[in-house]
Amino acid sequence: DVKVTQSSRYLVKRTGEKVFLECVQDMDHENMFWYRQDPGLGLRLIYFSYDVKMKEKGDIPEGYSVSREKKERFSLILESASTNQTSMYLCASSSRGGSETQYFGPGTRLLVL
Amino acid sequence: EDQVTQSPEALRLQEGESSSLNCSYTVSGLRGLFWYRQDPGKGPEFLFTLYSAGEEKEKERLKATLTKKESFLHITAPKPEDSATYLCAVQPQNSGYSTLTFGKGTMLLVSP
């Protein structure tokens, strides 16, 4: 079974703090993705990575950065958290070629005060 | 621009009352259409991938079908444990990195 894990289920941070969200997958997938999910807006792609040290902007990259130093690990960084970044953050991974199905982690619910 | 519209936004069924969820899409060539189930506070769980018009896939009480413009998720004799939000997503042919465009989901509630 594919397993994608995220470092925290719930996180509370203060405005201006630097926030790290980590994601680890155990299926040797080349592609990894970060989404945020908000009521009424659905899932929106923040960043994705198709290889170690490679990254591409998604639809809403502003205020976020990412890091992928190892194939199995993809980090999302909020450089200076703001209240409008309160959301559910979801990580996913997929293989390159074949079905390319994205498999999701359990999510991190982030509250920025 | 790729677009995915799911309807209805919410659906309430009695246990055993069969129904269908709709996913209409606009994409410049379809590589794949994906269905996911999401329980409250959890990540989406993969259900099906459909690749070409006419294709059907089944899993327990769920059956997904695909045409050139839409997909249906048919739920036969649902049970309360089928209550969840069902998400549809498309992957275009020209998606170099297997990115997906998601619909906003249909929230299904099955009452006993």
Instruction: Give per-residue pLDDT as tens, B7-51.
Output: 999 999 999 999 999 999 999 889 999 999 999 999 999 999 999
Contact between B46 and A103 using a beta-carbon 8 Å cutoff: yes
Task: Give the residue from B99, B93, B75, B107 showing the smallest Cα distance to B6.
Answer: B107
So what's the pLDDT on residue B97? Answer: 73
Residues 6+ apart with CB under 8 A from A104: A4, A90, A91, A92, B36, B43, B44, B45, B46
Residue A79 pLDDT greater than 70, yes or no:
yes
With cut-offs at 50, 70 and 90, classify the pLDDT of residue B95.
confident
For residue A84, the 8-state DSSP code is G
Listing from the earlier edge strand, what are the strands of the sheet with B3-7? B3-7, B19-26, B70-75, B62-66, B56-59
Contact between B43 and A41 using a beta-carbon 8 Å cutoff: no
**d(C-alpha B35, C-alpha B41), whole Å:** 18
Q: Which of B1, B100, B107 to mutate to test the interface with A (most CBs of A within 10 A)?
A: B100
Nearest C-alpha of chain A: how many angstroms from B16? 29
Could you tell me if A11 and A111 are in contact, meaning their C-beta atoms sit under 8 angstroms apart? yes
Contact between A99 and B43 using a beta-carbon 8 Å cutoff: no
Q: What is the pLDDT of residues A12-62, one digit of tens each?
A: 999 999 999 999 999 999 999 999 999 989 999 999 999 999 999 999 999
So what's the pLDDT on residue A99? Answer: 66
